[in-house]
Chains A and B, each alone.
Chain A
């Protein structure tokens, strides 16, 4: 599929920061000076490459990549945990545990949405992640052994895993918040 110079220039403009608008205008003006269509296509594709390079090095680009990557990971985690929860809910003896895990999958889904929406809102995510880790651990330690069908050792292992995951999210959230500027229009 051959893409037109206009397409490449539009794509380049789309990913460019506001501060690079003058550069985009300069590139478009140069495009008009090129005689052949093939030359214009190559030039425009190069402009997109330049914009992409600039984007990946900018704070805006890093912010979007961090948010996007985090959101995809949280969404995948949510899907996986929900799948596990469905299996557990299906059996009578593990239904209560399954409900809890389903709640966890919902938490991850909310995390994914928050990550994508704004890094500023990640503060809620970071704090709630830590809170959920502590609550989940206490819940499993104090209440879960009452479920006779599950051994205390197993529940303790699960609770530790859950605490580890949540703490991981908390650290990742705090790290992203410290590193990236949520003002997406800035470069």
Chain B
């Protein structure tokens, strides 16, 4: 049976940030403290695995383009719960650890 690799610290940060609700890419960067070069590959990978889903949302400010918001899917929630149970999730920038 194939064993699943434990997610990296950065992936766990993203998962934990999304557990509290959907967010935009820039919002996730601010919450997790990750740079775009690290965050987007994680988002892509998690989306490819079916743990995340994205949605285009109209901006609050007029004249701005629609932005993509990311949220955990049911499978993603199950996964992040399993990950949290397996060990402590690293600190989120300015927040508490799980």
Contacts and interface: CB of A to CB of B under 8 A. Distances in A.
Contacts of B74: none
A1 interface: no
B67 interface: yes
Main secondary structure of the interface of B (DSSP, over half): helix
A33 B37 contact: no
Interface stretch (B4-12, B13-21, B38-46, B78-86): B38-46
B35 A46 contact: yes
Given A30-B26, A33-B24, A34-B26, A46 B44 contact: no
A48 B35 CA distance: 12
Given A20-B44, A23-B44, A54-B44, A30 B37 contact: no
A27 B40 contact: yes
Contacts of A53: 37, 41
B31 interface: no
Contact of B41 (A33, A34, A50): A50
What range describes how many residues of B lie at the interface? 10 to 19
B54 interface: yes
Interface string B23-51: 01110010000011111110010000000
Given A20-B44, A47-B40, A50-B40, A27 B25 contact: yes
A134 to B, nearest CB: 44
Contact of B64 (A25, A33, A54): A33
Contact of B36 (A25, A29, A47): A47
Given A29-B64, A29-B67, 12 more contacts: A22-B68, A26-B67, A26-B68, A27-B36, A27-B40, A28-B65, A32-B64, A33-B67, A45-B37, A46-B35, A46-B39, A50-B39
Interface of B: 24-26, 29, 35-41, 44, 54, 64-68
